[in-house]
Structure 1
Amino acid sequence: MARGVAGVLRRAYTSRVRFLLSTRNLHSFRETGCRSLVNPEFDVPTSRFASDNLIRAQLQWNDYRFGGFGFGKARGFSSTVDNNGENDEKVESDIEDCAESLGSESEDYDEESMVNELGEVDESLMNDSAVSEIGDNVTESSEAARALNARYQDPVELYRELRQSEVRAKLRSSELDTLQEIFGYFAQSSWGANQALAIYIGRSFFPTAVSKFRDFFVSKCKIEVVQDLVRVGATDEAVKFLFPVFVEFCIEEFPDEIKRFKSVVDSADLTKPATWFPFARAMKRKIVYHCGPTNSGKTYNALQRFMEAKNGLYCSPLRLLAMEVFDKVNALGIYCSLLTGQEKKHVPFSNHVSCTVEMVSTDELYEVAVVDEIQMMADPSRGHAWTKALLGLKADEIHLCGDPSVLEIVRKMCADTGDELVEEHYER
């Protein structure tokens, strides 16, 4: 055993002596405070070195992974190197003594397996022991997590016990530090933040909620639960155990925050268009679908009802068509304003508006509204404007003019909104 270690140290020392002989005229690595030259000029100077630093520089025994072999107990020694190597025997005897002191702790040491031809220590064997130690820790943590989940299967019951607890457990500082690490890991867990969205706890509020839950848990938790949780450590298993209890805590402690976030989520939900305009949904609207081909008289009949009403709105797909209706209605003595993206004409005392469909206002109340070319609702670029007009117009009576291509869609939308649908079919 000792021969193997001594061989390593001897090779390191031999390399040191060769280096000193090849660099005789250079300064030493570390002088001992005496700067005067003992030998005459041009002779090899006597330099004093501390061999502990040189050995550490050549070998990797100062690494924490070699602590188990007892190398850290090797004591440093000093030597004097002169031209004739008079002190070699003394240094070698010190090396042998150091190797013998390591013998009792390294009986299984194998030079061939631990040291390669260059005198370097093989780190792979050390890594195997470190990996096995990590694996043992992971296995122990998993077993502790399974035991914890088996003991506390009902998170609601555990939360009630915590809520009813009045005596605070006396925890050691090490246990408190571990709990801080666990809850810090919980607050940074992306899995926990994603799961919290299901109960309407937003990502921005999640760390605050975890902080409040930590204070509650530390002040109420029993010592048995803390000890079991400490054995699990700051792992995903600990987060998954705490999360159901965290859910119960948030539901009871943050109802207002949950309600606000839920309202934001509901307002951003675009999968239910029938709920987009609550004021229009509160009205009992009548939808008249004038279905027929071009030049079949459907728009004419709708405009007749538009001019008969006390106030009304005409929605056109084209600016020129809106201007045509504007001129025609005013020529008949009915005051009507014009509203397009390029031009606005407000006629005094007018109760009727002719506009392009993108300029529709869902805030005004109308008796009659006419939406022309309703089949444009299926257009990928402009269809949203017709959908908005159909769903959001606050009018007692809405006349839709178009071909039969979107009739089924209109039927489905009226069924969802609860509006009355009347179909009038035209032939050319």
Structure 2
Amino acid sequence: MQADGNLVVYSGSSAVWSSSTAPATSSTLTMQDDGNLVLASRGGLPLWSSAGGRAPSNADEIAAGASLAPNMALWSRNGLHRAVMQGDGNFVVYGPAGAQWSTSTGSAGSSLALQSDGNLVVYAGSVATWSSHTAPARGVRLVMQDDGNLVMYSRGGVPVWSSRDGRGGWAEDTLPAETQLTPGQALWSHDGRFTALMQGDGNFVVYGPGGAQWASGTGVSGSIVRMQGDGNLVVYAPGAVAKWSSATQGAGARLVMQDDGNLVIYSGSTALWSSRGQGVSGPGTSSTTGGYPDADAVACQGLYAWCKNGSDYHPVRRLAYRNCTDYVAWKKGLVWGQVASGGSADATRWKAGWQERGREVGSTPRVGAVAWWGATSTNRYGHVAYVLAVNPDGSARIGEYNNGGTGRYSERNTRAQAYLY
């Protein structure tokens, strides 16, 4: 029984089995009268038993469905703070200076339950005497942190309640103003089918049952997404460099991952922006235009022709407005001379142009790559798109223009013939 709280079987100097309960200092191992061997934390929480194996709780946290009986406690890993369900019925957070917070309940014999619906409740028998009012929130955990704050985290890693701030506007599906998601944190719809994840690779992605539904298309590792006080949702790379924004304004704005799979920014009851671009009253255009600055080109004479200032070609990129090639060239910062092959910059020529210039081509999607299709019997021009996200099944979420000759922006999950890196 190690000092770190791990129970280990050694063969010589080699560990052949362990209870995987560290860190849990001052733990005890007890052979009970019922024949169950139990390893419990210093706060009395069963962490492992011979009958049930590893418990979902740790010395400093409990998971949804767990409870604290009278005199059981969570201890911070540094040993300076504890949250104890006292015998007198009060649930109290203590630190070096004494009591820091409490439920102010007082029915002897009460217990604390972290319910599966995400509500933290003090019960006196079957009567609730205090609750965190955090339901619904699936997969929550309650953690006694080293900083003395007792925090309930959603399955997406967002703090839905704390002893210092209470609710604070957070919910498993809601990012309130002046808060942010860091790498690995996510909002979840209440029905558990959709999630908006700030990925470690810097991409902010909405996932649903069919894979990626929308993505910011950003790719700087360590980025965060922040719901600003001015109503603008921004993906920031390290160094506070803005990489994407919703271009919205609104007092008290909040970001909500809805059960219908739509990620929406609300100011009051007014939708300012959505990942699907529907029912939006504000100027957030990234869902409907892909952020493409020339989406306002108007139809003019010619096949796949949309004009600005009397021309259907961009003056610098030298590619046709609202076509797949011009959109991708804008996303990648390219011009005609960097993609053309054999005197043509039609999409079907991009792969050859890429290879002629010594650039990498492959069969696996990467965020920021060009998805490429060659000519077919029904489309002699081919097609290119921009990879916004990569799905777990190896398909790609792409952003594209003029799919089917519409001249409009759209997104879909698909697999390309090749990817140009």
Tell whether the structures are fold-level matches, with TM greater than 0.5: no
Structure with larger Rg: 1
TM-score, length basis structure 1? 0.25
Higher helix share: 1
Q: Which has the higher contact order (CA 8 A, sep 6+)?
A: 1
Structure with more of its chain in strand, by fraction: 2
